[in-house]
Chain A
Amino acid sequence: MAPVELPVEKWTGKIKEVKLGGNGRKSMVIGGETTLPFLKFEGVLPNKPVIAVEVQDAPPKDWPQALVSAYGDALKDPGEWAKKALSFGAEIIYLRLKSAHPEEGNTGAAEAKKAVAKVLEAVDVPVIVIGPEVPEKDNEVLVAASEVGKGQRLALGNCVEKNHRTIAATCIADGHVAIAKTPIEINLAKQLNILLCDVGLAADSIIMDPTTGSLGYGLEYTYSVMERLRIAGLMGDGMPSMPMLCDVGEESWRQKESRVTTGVPETWGDPAERAINWEIITAISLLNSGANIITLRHPKTIEFLKNSIAQLTQAG
């Protein structure tokens, strides 16, 4: 009998390659794939998805015990925290300047510079800096972060429609990448990329954050929007063909299933095991729908997902 003819799609597009790091810092490229996630029989995946581990500029007040005990005293200092994250397997540090939030301390440019400098000093992997997600404050602290990391090709976010001009300008000036975040909607994602390119940011300096819904909390919306973005990109539309980042750590660890240890149905199972499963299942689902960077928090999750990515991307 004739061999089965493999059903290969002829994609005309390609996901853009975005470089992070460099200039003394380790560098890496993400994106570049010519097929849907991990379909080796069909196309090439020149750069594997990477794991970013979250570091905050101040000890987190709302982290569950499972995470606090994993990081221990390192949580007191962003530099130490970054080193710990690296020892767990982080390929990128995702630094959240949480204390710049008006409710979390309202710190400003000076403190932001200090925190970013500490992390840049402590580790040599690429760094993503995320503001408190209040557009005015984001502008203040991200511009400060941008200056400190000038030339080291950080990624700065979140860049939303409201502040895209400021973030784009600082990325252009200091050679950084913007994290363009939109609320689980394909056209808005595309639109923000167009706006960023219109103000002069190069298309290879944008990473999309389509907004992450964790398992049980909107995962399916993120999953499908990402599949649609990826398909649109592969079909040749340049504007949604940027690599994607999913903030899995934050989203899965703030849900009740990952935090609450008592007073929930017995059918939810062991809290420690459940929390890890919540994070790994959210992560693998979003990798399969096209994530190029996933943020993670728990060391066990980092280890398992790193192995999974290796399995999915090994040659042959």
Chain B
Amino acid sequence: MALTGIEIYKFLPKTNCKKCNFPTCLAFAMKVAQKTVDVSVCPDLSPESKAALEAAGRPPIRLVTIGPDAKKVEVGNETVLFRHEKTFFHPPALMVRIKDNEPLESIEKTVAEVSSYSVERVGIDMAPNGFAIDNLSKDAGTFAKVAASVAGKSELPLVLMSTDPAAMEAALEKVGGNRPLIYGANAENWEKMAQLAAKYKCALAVIGKDGLDSLSELTEKITKAGVEDLVLAPNTANLSDSINTLTQLRRLAFKKAFKPLGYPVITFPGAASKSVEEEAILAAQQIGKYAGIIVLDHFTPALFYPLLTLRLNIYTDPQKHIQVTSAIYPIGSPKETSPVCVTTNFSLTYFSVAGELESSGFPAWLLVCDTEGLSVLTAWAAGKFDAERIAKAVKTLNLAEKISHQKIILPGKVAVLRGELEDELKGWDIMIGPPEAMDIGSYLKQMWKN
């Protein structure tokens, strides 16, 4: 929680000595609050004040890193409750649970499938982030063996799931160097687990299913024992517990600056679900509201592709619209006689038009002009979607080589560009499409002979 100038001022010596090159302590405090100068510039700050200011300046939700550097995931350090207030920064890691009592062969198969899975959307590659190895066998040797096997087959981050410190230590001996998340500490084993976390420099999940009171008591004990990188595992077994508890945790961190619960959260949406669809619903809710690591029991592309897409959607920065690359996109399997629609490179505009073309039944070419991520009318008003730009796109993207006709369809909202565009593109027929994307299908039915 950022401090105000007045709050910082309270910690300063209040001598107005000017050694910091500011006229007064208050002026200095104001600059510190704006983050234009560091508080350590004050030479007379007492160690207690310094410690207090540093603690107050810590992010409300701690950033926790898991896994080897090449494939590490970072979770936490969020700053808002709602994405429209700024943006969400660290997308939740989507992991797959591996049961250590299953045959090694089938485990290895799953690990290979998950680690090679990657799916592309708007030019972004999306992939699962790791494995949670569950010590269902209750056997330390088996747990360690499976952990070593998974780590040998994949570089993705691991969560080690066992409440038995001996089993945990056996697994950490094999894979402790990969910075796995230790899952986890509870009221009985926390001292031993905290020692392991310190020894192997790994983050520690704190399991507390009986409410936030006991969970925060436990995290306080563990931080006092010197382990700071924590992940919370509260009760998120069903949709209602999950949204209520995770909202409380995030609000406690932001609104109350409540340190004992200022950590990212791990969830297991499959744990109490009776079907893969129920698991999908809970996981989807937790992507929006407010999980840091989500461990799924099922891995199928038909589940991960939509969940990864949702994660991409929710974690898109609302202030920076995703832009689509300026290009000629084939929708369906267009031929040289297919229609050409022109639009802007604002992703939502692109998706609306592409979606309508897709469902229109007309294979078509979609010519996307670079309008710096603005929608049709906004881009037109800002001078980023004019005849000159459209003509330039037609020429530089070599549209004429793809088609046998010379017709392009403009969005109806910029019908006014027709005259100028006819001058820019001599010999081309400039058609005026409908003002709204949803009418493209009926427009093509009327105006375009297949």
Contacts and interface: CB of A to CB of B under 8 A. Distances in A.
Interface of A: 1, 3-7, 9, 36-41, 62, 101-103, 133, 213, 215-221, 223-224, 227-228, 231, 254-257, 259, 265-271, 273-274, 276-278, 280-281, 284-285, 288-289, 300, 304-305, 307-308, 311-314
Contacts of A285: 284-285, 288, 310, 314
A254 B359 contact: yes
A281 B280 contact: yes
B248 A6 contact: yes
B310 A280 contact: no
B48 interface: no
Given A7-B252, A215-B306, A220-B318, A269 B278 contact: no
B174 interface: no
Interface in B41-75: none
Contact of A40 (B82, B244, B281): B244
Contacts of B247: 36, 39
B359 A62 contact: yes
Contacts of B309: 215-216
B248 A312 contact: no
A221 B280 contact: no
Nearest to A267: B119
A276 to B, nearest CB: 7
A269 B247 CA distance: 32
A7 B310 contact: no
A276 B83 CA distance: 26
Given A3-B213, A133-B438, A288-B288, A268 B305 contact: yes
CB-based closest 9 A-B pairs: A269-B302, A269-B301, A7-B251, A273-B302, A103-B442, A267-B119, A274-B302, A224-B84, A220-B313
14 contacts: A1-B217, A4-B216, A103-B446, A213-B351, A223-B288, A224-B83, A224-B84, A227-B83, A259-B359, A265-B120, A270-B300, A274-B306, A304-B278, A312-B240
A107 to B, nearest CB: 15
B244 A41 contact: yes
Contacts of B300: 269-270, 273
A248 B229 CA distance: 40
B291 to A, nearest CB: 13
Given A215-B310, A218-B352, A285-B310, A267 B305 contact: yes
B355 A254 contact: yes
A75 B119 CA distance: 36
B381 to A, nearest CB: 15
A38 B261 contact: no
B213 A308 contact: no
A231 B119 contact: no
A304 B285 CA distance: 14
A36 B300 CA distance: 33
Nearest to B306: A277
